[in-house]
């Protein structure tokens, strides 16, 4: 009975998360079909009945997929990361720790479904991009582990590495800039995040208990590596005279939309089954081999992890297939329809904010993170507060991206001031808020962002005849940056409130003619007397 209640609670959470964005699309479809005058949009921009039906099926798949993913992750990905992280932290060989950590980082990242989605939209060799990002995550996962081991300052590391990125970005093709920063967000997706969070908890717990601030920050550092390594790839490409495709070679985002409900759905299911198998399969095999050699857990624990991985696999397949077949086509069409005429800008901004707010609520990895935050803080930081703050900041990020696309200015006008503000706040708030904020930036830019909100922004830019590399991409970078500022602001406000409460308490103790009696250095018997 208890397990049934648990499953139903997860199903309810998933339904509540997916319902708002589904409601928005239903309203848009009904308005287009029954309320808008004929010819308001070009005929190709209207949502067809087949696409709407496929979208409704996709909503149901997302609800069940998210439910299964949440349940499976709790007893698979997070546990695998925690067991391996705890085991590695106890090893005496630093070389072994570094080698295994790097291998794990590359292994998990190369097969991340979000990464495959982004690399497929860029238009250059996917293997080069995926390999560069995988190595970047592997290297920075090692750096994160060494930081925990040697107790190095996280704020300083962020400043150094992001400073290096900002120095290098001006030696690459400006059209590559948004992609570089987008690559940092897509690597922290539904497979990577639970593993890295569990890995960080395992490392921290073996050093000083679950409340250690070091349990956060790994995800954030792993988001820096891809940016830096894609910048290096872009610099090498420029030296070799290679460029991104021209806009004449860029494929219309609507060109991939096929006819028919079931063929699209079947294609998406087969594609997702293959990509998710590549995601979870190698990691599961590695865990089993590592467990047999180094950990040797009870067989019931191993069986539970394997069962959890199977449930996670099914949930991810349903989720990603639904997003690919039902959500991406709708997002592309809406983006192009509202980008086709200046008079639709207010509607585009309104929809963008709604998609940002509701999209982050549907991200499976976001729910994993907020659960971890509440657990590690022993309930002091409520997950609902973090979730609301994240969703509002992501809505603002989408609106800012559309404004940038409309007025056609460089993404660095957002990125540089934004990161300066984030780094300044990092010196004013407790370390755990900084680590949580940077982790949240990577987590919020998950599969829903890259497969729904990003196509919406690309479609908006494409319909306006703009260079989508300059003004369509960059959304993921904005989504990853906003939580860095707002969550640290939340920490700053909490710190100010706490200090104010302490100051009022001290004043009460010093007030003249106060009836309070304060006993210092007295035993219980003396106080009673």
Residues whose CB falls within 8 Å of the CB of residue 275, separated by 6 or more in sequence, listed in order = 111, 113, 116, 320
Look at residue 518 and tell me if it is in a domain. Answer: no
Token reading at 328: 């991406």
Give the CA angle between residues 326, 332, 335 to the nearest 5°: 135
The number of domains in the chain is: 1
CB 291 within 8 A of CB 132: no
Structure tokens at 503: 């100051």
Q: Which residues contact 173 (CB under 8 A, 6 or more apart)?
A: 234, 237, 238, 243, 244
Yes or no: say if 440 and 369 are a contact pair by the CB < 8 Å rule.
Answer: yes
Q: How far apart are CA 454 and CA 163, in angstroms?
A: 26
| C-beta of residue 158 within 8 angstroms of C-beta of residue 437 | no
Question: What's the pLDDT score for residue 259?
Answer: 60
Asked if the structure places residue 516 within a domain, the reply is no
Low pLDDT (below 50) residues in the chain: 209-212, 524, 526-529
Q: Is residue 64 part of a domain?
A: yes
Q: Is residue 88 part of a domain?
A: yes
Residue carrying the six token digits 């648990």:
6
DSSP output for 233-292: HHHHHHHTT--PPPTTTSPPTTTT--S-HHHHHHHHHHHHHHHHHHHHHHHHHHHHHHII
Report residue 215: phi and psi, to 5°: -70, -15
Two tokens, residue 288: 């089993």
CA torsion through residues 254, 259, 261, 263, sign: negative
Asked if residues 197 and 372 have their Cβ atoms less than 8 Å apart, the reply is: yes
Residue 511: inside a domain, yes or no? no
CB 182 within 8 A of CB 159: no
In a domain, 520, yes or no: no
- Residue 211: the pLDDT is 44
Phi–psi pair at 173, nearest 5 degrees: -60, 125
User: pLDDT of 428-443, one tens digit each?
Assistant: 887 777 877 877 776 7
What is the rounded CA–CA span in Å between residue 173 and residue 230?
12
Neighbouring C-alpha atoms within 13 Å toward the C-beta of 163: 7
Quick one: tokens of 132? 């560069």
pLDDT of residue 356: 87
DSSP-based three-state secondary structure for 479: helix
pLDDT of residue 210: 45
Phi, psi of 178 (to 5 degrees): -60, -35
Residues in the chain, total:
529
Q: Is residue 325 part of a domain?
A: yes
Which range marks the domain in which residue 53 is found? Answer: 8-498
Which pLDDT value is given to residue 396? 92
pLDDT at 214: 55
Give domain status of residue 513, yes or no. Answer: no
Which sign does the torsion angle of CA 206, 208, 209, 215 carry?
A: negative
With beta carbons less than 8 A apart as the criterion, state whether 459 and 334 touch.
Answer: yes
For residue 5, the tally of other CB atoms under 10 A from its CB is 9
């Amino acid at each position: 009975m208890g397990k049934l209640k648990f499953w139903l609670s997860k199903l309810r959470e998933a339904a509540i998360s997916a319902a708002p964005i589904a409601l928005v699309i239903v309203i848009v479809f009904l308005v287009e079909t029954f309320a808008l005058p004929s010819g308001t949009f070009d005929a190709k921009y209207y949502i067809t009945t087949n696409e709407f039906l496929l979208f409704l099926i996709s909503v149901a798949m997302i609800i069940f997929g998210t439910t299964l993913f949440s349940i499976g992750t709790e007893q698979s990905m997070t546990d695998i990361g925690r067991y391996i992280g705890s085991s590695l932290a106890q090893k005496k060989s630093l070389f072994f720790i570094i080698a295994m950590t790097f291998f794990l980082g590359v292994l998990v990242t190369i097969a991340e479904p979000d990464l495959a989605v982004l690399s497929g939209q860029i238009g250059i060799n996917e293997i080069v991009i995926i390999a560069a990002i995988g190595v970047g995550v592997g290297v920075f996962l090692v750096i994160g582990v060494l930081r925990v081991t040697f107790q190095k300052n996280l704020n300083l590391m962020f400043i150094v590495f992001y400073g290096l990125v900002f120095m290098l970005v001006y030696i690459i093709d400006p059209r590559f800039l948004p992609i570089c920063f987008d690559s940092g967000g897509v690597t922290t997706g539904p497979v990577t995040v639970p593993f890295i969070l569990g890995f960080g908890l395992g490392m921290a717990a073996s050093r000083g208990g679950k409340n250690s601030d070091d349990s956060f920050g790994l995800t954030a550092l792993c988001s820096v590596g891809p940016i830096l390594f894609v910048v290096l790839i872009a610099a090498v490409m420029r030296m070799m005279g290679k460029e991104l495709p021209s806009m004449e070679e860029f494929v219309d985002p609507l060109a991939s939309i096929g006819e028919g409900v079931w063929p699209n759905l079947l294609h998406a299911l087969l594609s997702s089954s293959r990509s998710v198998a590549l995601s979870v399969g190698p990691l599961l095999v590695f865990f089993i081999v590592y467990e047999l050699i180094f950990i040797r857990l009870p067989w019931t624990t191993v069986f539970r992890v394997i069962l959890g991985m199977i449930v996670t696999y099914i949930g991810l397949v349903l989720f990603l297939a639904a997003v690919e077949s039902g959500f991406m086509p709708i997002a592309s069409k809406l983006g192009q329809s509202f980008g086709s005429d200046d008079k639709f800008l207010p509607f585009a901004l309104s929809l963008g904010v709604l998609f940002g707010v509701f999209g982050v609520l549907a991200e499976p990895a976001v729910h994993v993170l907020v659960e971890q935050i509440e657990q590690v803080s022993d309930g002091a930081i409520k997950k609902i507060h973090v979730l609301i703050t994240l969703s509002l900041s992501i809505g603002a990020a989408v609106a800012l991206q559309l404004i940038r696309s409309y007025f056609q200015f460089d993404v660095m006008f957002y990125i540089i001031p934004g990161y300066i503000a984030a780094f300044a706040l990092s010196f004013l708030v407790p370390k755990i808020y900084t680590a949580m904020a940077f982790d949240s930036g990577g987590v919020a830019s998950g599969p829903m962002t890259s497969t729904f909100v990003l196509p919406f922004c690309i479609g908006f830019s494409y319909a306006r005849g703009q260079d989508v590399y300059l003004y369509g991409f960059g959304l993921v970078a904005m989504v990853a940056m906003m939580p860095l500022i707002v969550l640290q602001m939340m920490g700053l406000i909490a710190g100010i409130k706490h200090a104010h409460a302490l100051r009022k308490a001290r004043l009460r103790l010093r007030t003249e003619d106060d009836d309070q009696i304060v006993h210092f250095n007295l035993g219980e018997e003396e106080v009673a007397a």
